[in-house]
Amino acid sequence: MAELAASTGVTLVSTIATSVAQARGLRVTFDSTGTTSAAAIGVRGDYITAQAIAASGVGAAVSPQAGIIVPVISNGAGAIAVGDTIYSAASGKTSTTSTSAVLLGKAVTAAAATDGVLYEVLLQNPA
């Protein structure tokens, strides 16, 4: 996780996935049972998974605080270029579409217009 090591102030925390596996770079939220699940489009998320987490498994995640670079997953709605503004998308993914979404940050790597592509974002404070 070189991109996490290069960021200042990154603290990994343990999370427990619901009965659905979670890919690395997924925005997740805590539910009432203390497990995490994919965040909805209009939700920034409580954490971003730092590794793939098996269904009902324990794994590492990072807080979506401003100033750190994290891997995130594209929803494939369009190609992402370095410097593009990135927003939340359905199912814990991300895109450049701002409709019904919340600001996450700026892309620091590019991604093809393919669903599930992992790329990096410099997180910013929500507007």
| Tens digits of residue pLDDT in 81-109 | 999 999 999 999 999 999 999 999 999 99
Q: Is 34 exposed, middle or buried (0-12, 13-18, 19+ CB in 10 A)?
A: exposed
Residue 81 near residue 96, CB atoms below 8 Å: no
pTM for this model (two decimals): 0.86
Kindly list the domain boundaries of the chain, sorted by start residue: 2-62, 69-123
Buried b (16+ CB within 10 A) or exposed e, 54-76: eeeeebbbbbbeeebbbbbbbbb
Phi, psi (degrees; rounded to nearest 5) at 75: -90, 0
Average pLDDT, the chain: 90
Residue with tokens 């590794």: 51
| Average pLDDT of the residues in 21-44 | 94
Instruction: Tell me: pLDDT of 66 over 80.
Output: no
pLDDT at site 10: 75
What are the structure tokens assigned to 107, written together?
Answer: 């892309």
pLDDT at site 64: 86
